[in-house]
Amino acid sequence: MPLLSPSLIGAISLCALAFSARSAPPAGAIDLDRDVYADRIEGFWLAQSIANWTGLQTEGVRKQPPFYTDADWPMTFDGRALRFVTDQDPWQADDDTDIEYVYAQVMHQHQRPDLNADQIRDGWIEHINSFIWVSNARARELMDRGVSPPATSIPAANNLYLRIDAQLTTEFFGVLAPGMPSVALELANTPILTTARGHAAHAAQFFVVLHALGATRGPDALNPAGIEQLVVDALAYIPETSKAADIVRLVLDDYRTNPDRKDWERTRDLLAQTFQTDAALNGYRYLHWTESSVNFGAAIVCLLYGQGDLLETIRIGTLTGWDSDNPTASMGGLIGLMHGADGVRASFPADDLSDRYWISRTRDAMPDYLPSDPEAEDLLSALSQRMLARVDDTVRMNAGIANSTGWLIPQQPAADVLHDNPWFNECIRSMNNAIVSGGGTVVGSHSLSGIPISGDGLPSAAWFVNGREHDARGVEPATANSEYFWTRGVAPDPLGRVSLSVTYSMPVEVHTVRFVEGDHFGEGGWFESITASARVNGSWVTLKTTQGVALDPQIPFQIIDLVLDEPVVADAIRISGIAGGSERFITASELDAFTTPNTRQPVTWDINNDGLVDVEDLYDFDEQPADIDGDGDTDSADYAELERAVRWRELDVFTGTRR
């Protein structure tokens, strides 16, 4: 269809400025009221606090059968009196809420929601120094050595990367991106990879997506069908090969076939049988009661069988077993987000639920927003109001509109939501994994004349081409040990040089050569310099690259990207450099060829890319047309959608009224 003429655009634009009527928002767009959403954010924090402390009553008590059942509420068979914890005043910080609170504060400090690796590391070092366990604790140790995320979770550095930690520290990134799950995953990507990889990272991503989707579905979806649909929709964002996806499917299928929708114990017991008692028989490994897997499954159990009821979700989560406070807090927070604070308070009509929060119980050097209150530093309602500014940022950064009355969020693409998962997109660029998955071979080699010794590092070059650091599948790994290659015990060439090579059984596109170090020691473990080359048409060619980070002998496990000026097609890559330290050896967790990044263009009303959605975009539409309604054509219907976006709430803004 022909594009609209400038004269017609001008005429329609003049109509857009006549404030005689309120224009409906574009089809498919999300129109979210600011006051309503402030209440939902407060509900998230409030319900998460109730669920956290209720679940703590059984944390780590029932780690294997016999588990608790409905008969154990309110008095368990081992003599524990259980209740809904609603009387804390102030609410005490715990690791299910306090790291998210730290992230919220660091965002407030930097005035942006998309924290980079250095900001995350510095925030952890300043505020997170106690009350942390397993993978969180290991990541924190690595930060003291200068390691930044996402290197703090690579298997070679952190053998606890399959634990629960990321699931309980990152859900709230979905709260910052209501109705925008792909955006939420971008915001959460580095925070998740601070402590998790593999299926544990996918479990955390699933929780983030649940919150992003639930944020705009609200109370209307708090019913069995709405909750089930939420689970189904979130599942599309993680790879179907992942153990996390296996867990969701098992719980969901058993829930659907269960004739008694109150018999959650049946599904919990099946979860335990499949992934704990008979894990090896089913091709899995049970690690520990703090692992991601069984606790992730427990969360899906209490979410589905809770059927949108906050009290029932919390009660079931508390009884499921293992690390029971964590899944309970995560799903309680989700239901609270959908209810809003008013709905949470209505769920506990006999209780006067506190608004106060005591963060310094567990976290260091946090601001005191209540200097006149010696027992608390913040109000959940005030925290929620501060987070609105970060929602503003997120919406505007993704071509939406934010003003004093609310947000207009563009229709989100849904063609291939798995490719909206940033960690999946990163991993599928790995040729070490892609070639093997396609039936080919990947062989590592080194330039040394002898075989390195065994010790903290391993002598086989296979360890730096195993693809473990960038495995998108989420399958159960053969081992969760920290393992990497090193050259210790064998002298480099007379000039101190060492080369590592990767040979592929078929040609690959090389956009980036990625080298991931192993550990560093006082005697060596690093390159002092590094260059990259590729074998193109049988000949080795030195590559012109830009290096992402500087080599630093003080920082181990660095992820060093050598980005080519121009991609090449090669059947082998190589890095060479001077080995460092008194013993002149290097360590290597992975050497890999990465293809060109995948990009997708989001739907946008900001035609001229000036950061605003206004009448100028209407004027520029003729020269820069866009398929705004997503029907594959660029026509007057797209212009009409753009006009509706420009005119959204125009009367509210100009007259100061609210809908």
pLDDT band at 21 (very low <50, low <70, confident <90, very high): very low
* Cβ neighbours for 350, distance < 8 A, ≥ 6 positions apart: none
Q: Hey, what domains does the chain have and what are their CATH numbers? A: 6-26+605-655 (no CATH), 31-409 (1.10.4080.10), 428-594 (2.60.120.260)
Q: How far apart are the first and last CA of the chain?
A: 37
Decide the pairing of beta strands 356-358 and 91-92: parallel
Q: What pLDDT does 627 receive?
A: 84
pLDDT in the model for residue 656: 53
Q: Percent of the chain at pLDDT above 70?
A: 94
Residue 414: predicted pLDDT: 65
CB 126 within 8 A of CB 106: no
- Nearest residue to 338 (alpha-carbon basis) of 15, 7, 36, 655: 36
Residue matched to tokens 């109001």: 385
CA 365 to chain centre: 26
- Using one digit for the tens of pLDDT, what is the confidence trace for 520-536? 999 999 999 999 999 99
The pLDDT value recorded for residue 605 is: 86
Q: Give SS3 for 91.
A: strand
Four-residue CA torsion sign, 259, 260, 261, 267: negative
Question: Which residues lie below 8 Å from residue 538, measured CB to CB, with a gap of 6+?
Answer: none
Mean pLDDT of 595-604: 80
Checking if the pLDDT of 3 tops 70, the result is: no
Report CA Rg, the chain. Answer: 26
Q: How far apart are CA 193 and CA 211, in angstroms?
A: 18
Q: What is the dihedral of CA 454, 456, 458, 463, to 10 degrees?
A: 170
Q: What are the pLDDT digits (tens) for 325-384?
A: 999 999 999 999 999 999 999 999 999 999 999 999 999 999 999 999 999 999 999 999
Tokens of 402: 């934010």
Strand partners, 23: 648
Angstrom distance (rounded) from CA 236 to CA 418 = 6
Q: How confident is the model at residue 2 (pLDDT cuts 50, 70, 90)?
A: very low
If you average pLDDT over residues 190-209, what whole number do you get? 98
Q: Which of 78, 95, 176 is nearest to 140 (CA)?
A: 95
Q: What is the 3-state secondary structure (H, E, C) of 505-543?
A: EEEEEEEEEEEECCCCECCEECECCCEEEEEECCEEEEC
Give the pLDDT confidence of 101-113 residue by residue, as tens digits. 999 999 999 999 9
- 450, amino acid identity: G
Range from 260-274, 355-369, 402-416 carrying the lowest mean pLDDT: 402-416
What are the backbone dihedrals phi and psi of residue 147, each rounded to the nearest 5 degrees, phi first?
-75, 135
489-494: average pLDDT: 95
Q: Which two tokens stand for residue 313?
A: 């979700």
On the CB side of 243, how many CA atoms lie within 13 Å of its CA?
27
Q: How does pLDDT run across 236-266, given as a tens digit for each residue?
A: 999 999 999 999 999 999 999 999 999 999 9
565 burial type by CB count under 10 A (0-12 exposed, 13-18 middle, 19+ buried): exposed
The model's pLDDT over 48-93, given as tens digits with 9 standing for 90+, comes to: 999 999 999 999 999 999 999 999 999 999 999 999 999 999 999 9
Helix (H) or strand (E) holding 570: strand 559-578
What is d(CA 433, CA 465) in angstroms, rounded to the nearest whole number? Answer: 9
Q: Average of pLDDT values for 13-26?
A: 49
d(CA 110, CA 221): 34
pLDDT (tens digit per residue) in 621-640: 988 898 887 777 888 888 98
CB 238 within 8 A of CB 206: yes
pLDDT tens for each residue of 423-434: 999 999 999 999
Q: Which of 185-189, 283-287, 607-611, 613-617 is the least confident region?
A: 607-611
Tokens describing residue 370: 């209540």
**10 pLDDT band (50/70/90 cuts)?**
very low
Six-digit token string for 557: 């496990």
Instruction: Kindly report the average pLDDT of the chain as a whole number.
Output: 93
What's the pLDDT at 234?
97
3-state secondary structure of 356: strand
422: Cβ–Cβ under 8 A, 6 or more apart, which residues?
185, 186, 189
Give the three-state DSSP class for 560: strand
Q: Is 217 left (phi over 0), alpha (psi -120 to 50) or beta?
A: alpha
Instruction: Report the range of poorest mean pLDDT among 13-27, 159-173, 339-353, 476-490.
Output: 13-27
Greatest alpha-carbon span in the chain? 83
Collapsed DSSP state (helix, strand, coil) of residue 572: strand
Nearest to 297 by CA among 206, 188, 227: 206
Contacts (Cβ under 8 Å, ≥6 apart) of 159: 138, 480, 481, 482
Q: Where are the beta strands (DSSP E) in 326-438?
A: 356-358, 378-379, 401-403, 406-409
pLDDT (0 to 100) of residue 529? 96
DSSP for residue 92: E
User: How is residue 151 written in tokens?
Assistant: 């290197």
